Homo-oligomer: A and B are copies of this chain.
Amino acid sequence: MSDQPSADAQARIAELRQQIDDVDARIVELLNERARFSLEIRGLKPQAHLGLYDPKREEEIFARLAEQNRGPLYDENLREIYEAILHVMKEMRG
């Protein structure tokens, strides 16, 4: 006897994974776009007489993320992800 509910659930999971892969492709593109802007800013900072690290700007970013967040992720989830993003942007080789 075939296990139809199980087969249906597996098919739906495969479909959802495909949608996640599509989302990930767009996130990768946006992260690279962000990295390009970030590298340009880094190059301009000495000329603008600004320090390379700006904790105020980081707090602004976290506040804006929370403001834009409609869930289901919690603000602290976004903060965890963005700590990794900002860490990478800071350590990036130009």
Query: Which residues from chain A sit less than 8 Å from chain B, CB to CB?
Result: 3, 5-6, 9-10, 12-13, 16-17, 19-21, 23-41, 44-45, 47-50, 57, 61, 64-65, 68-74, 77-78, 80-81, 83-85, 87-88, 91-93
Contacts and interface: CB of A to CB of B under 8 A. Distances in A.
B35 A73 contact: yes
Main secondary structure of the interface of A (DSSP, over half): helix
Contact of A81 (B37, B45, B49, B85): B85
A5 to B, nearest CB: 6
A78 to B, nearest CB: 6
Contacts of A26: 26, 30
Contact of A84 (B34, B47, B84): B84
A16 to B, nearest CB: 5
